[in-house]
Amino acid sequence: MRASVATFVIAVLVIVGSVALRPHGLTAAQQAATNTALDKEALAALDRMGTYLRTLKAFQIEAVTTTEHVMEDGQKVQLAGTTTLVARMPDRLLIEETSDRKERTYVYDGKQFTVYARRARSYATVPAPPTIALLADVLDEKFGLNLPLEDLFRWGGPKAQTKALTSAMYVGPSQVGGITCGHYVFRQEGLDWQVWIQLGDFPLPRKFVLTTLTDEARPQYVATYTWNLAPSFNDGAFTFVAPSGVGRVKMVETSPTGEK
Amino acid sequence: MKPILRTVVAIAVAMLVTGATALAQRGGGGTRSSARQSVNRNDTVNRNNNVNNNTNVNRNTNVNNNTNVNRNTNINRDIDIDRDIDVDVDHRYGGCCYNNGWGTAAAIATTAAVTAAVVGSVVNTLPPSCQVVVQNGFTYQQCGSTWYQPQMVGGSTTYVVIDAP
């Protein structure tokens, strides 16, 4: 026991300097191989992006998304959607999500959170914690609801899962909508993902590709962002008022989404 | 008062079968999984202990490796796209294509446990020709003589069979 702990510590020291403390019982060789796969430049780019995101006071994003769903027989169906998000940090949020199959509006004013299903003419409201980041956690853990683009509120914060990365790589420069970005690929348990981060003084994520590995069909999610760092809005935008002909429904508490 | 009581009971019963429903809902009416949309989640599921799976740093970054889209030219193979197309959907409209997938399975399972009337059972898909009815500030779905109370479960909506409100 003591020897294996020592081996582990040495391995970590010898290599890059403690990037990933993995919970599994890795041999030193495996640890070495794993850490070598963590490119410092790629990790630094991720850190810069997170740090920069946490400096933003307000922003608006138009995200164009595609999400793949896997049928029972392994065939994939790709659905397209758009997500418009307006955030005033730390406690105001308005998201309009439209896909081929459903529409959702998410409204948060620092006290209450409402999901409004326009086509179903129904909404659900629950009490909410005081910040968007905490809101994302509560929705995830208590209601099994993934706030669209929730990652944006976690990068550069305590819930960023950079320690979970098992591979990080810089691919090269790449254009996203005419903007020159750095293209990075990462791997963590159950997920391969790619991000395109704007080069220069404004390291904004411009594109994400997530490939889920836990299904052999490897369904993919792609999101391309257009940013507005000076959005205009009034406070009323973050307060939900039920339109006429729309009724309330219950938001059911579920086990964490993690327990799929 | 009485109908309200019945509704409460229906919801209570519904809660009992929520576990099964959540499972069904994740299947999403014919889907077995969907792409994850976030990176920073404590995803403790399906924890894979294969420690060798990430060691190949030279793994293929050639994004053009599958460009032959004409491999499977028999495109009529599964042309019946209504078969299982009930993916990530609020509910169906009109009289088309009622999917008997998960919803019915859940209903049958519940029938055995509850009553023949299936009040309190939860379905993921509504039958055709339903009407949204808003009463006393709450939303219901009326499908013929059967009433449903929608509820949001994660990113989806499921429907609890209730007595007429």
Residue A257 touches chain B, beta carbons under 8 Å: yes
For the domain spanning A42-259, the CATH number is 2.50.20.10
The answer, yes or no, to whether residue B61 has pLDDT greater than 50, is no
The answer, yes or no, to whether residue A8 has pLDDT greater than 80, is no
Residue A30 touches chain B, beta carbons under 8 Å: yes
How far apart are the CA of A74 and the nearest CA of chain B, in angstroms?
8
Mind listing the pLDDT tens digit for each residue in A121-163? 999 999 999 999 999 999 999 999 999 999 999 999 998 988 9
pLDDT band with cut points at 50, 70 and 90 for residue B90: low
Averaged pLDDT for residues A16-21: 44
Which range is least confidently modeled, A114-123, A221-230, B40-49? B40-49
Alpha-carbon distance A138 to A61, whole Å? 23
Alpha-carbon distance B25 to A90, whole Å? 32
**Using the beta-carbon criterion (under 8 Å), do A247 and B40 form an inter-chain contact?**
no
Mind listing the pLDDT tens digit for each residue in B119-159? 999 998 898 889 999 999 999 999 999 999 999 998 888 99
Q: Mean pLDDT across chain A, nearest whole number?
A: 88
Q: Does residue A133 or residue B41 have the better pLDDT? A: A133
Nearest one of B94, B93, B104, B95 to B29, comparing CA atoms: B104
Structure tokens at B117: 């009337």
pTM (two decimals): 0.70
- The set of residues, in sequence order, having a beta carbon less than 8 Å from that of A226 and lying 6+ positions away, is A61, A62, A63, A177
User: A20-59: b or e for each residue (b if 16 or more CB lie within 10 Å)?
Assistant: bebeeebeeebbbbbbebbbeebbebbeebbebbbeeeeb
Nearest one of A194, A220, A218 to A206, comparing CA atoms: A194
Confidence at residue A60, expressed as pLDDT on a 0 to 100 scale: 98
Helix (H) / strand (E) element for B112: namely: helix B102-113
**Using the beta-carbon criterion (under 8 Å), do A120 and B150 form an inter-chain contact?**
yes
Confidence at residue B87, expressed as pLDDT on a 0 to 100 scale: 59
Residue A67 touches chain B, beta carbons under 8 Å: yes
The residue of B15, B26, B32, B33 whose CB has the most chain A CBs within 10 angstroms, and thus the best one to mutate to test that interface, is B33
Which range is least confidently modeled, A38-47, A124-133, B92-101? B92-101
Confidence at residue B20, expressed as pLDDT on a 0 to 100 scale: 35
Residues of A in contact with B45 (CB under 8 A): 190, 214, 258-260
Mind listing the pLDDT tens digit for each residue in A177-194? 999 999 999 999 999 999
Most confident range (mean pLDDT) of A80-84, A144-148, B112-116 is A80-84
Sign for the pseudo-dihedral over CA of B16, B20, B22, B25: negative
Alpha-carbon distance A227 to A258, whole Å? 30
Averaged pLDDT for residues B6-28: 39
Give me the interface pTM, i.e. the ipTM: 0.79
Confidence at residue A210, expressed as pLDDT on a 0 to 100 scale: 98
The answer, yes or no, to whether residue B13 has pLDDT greater than 70, is no
The answer, yes or no, to whether residue A251 has pLDDT greater than 60, is yes
Neighbouring-strand partners of residue A105: A96, A116
pLDDT band with cut points at 50, 70 and 90 for residue B65: very low
Q: Mean pLDDT across chain B, nearest whole number?
A: 58
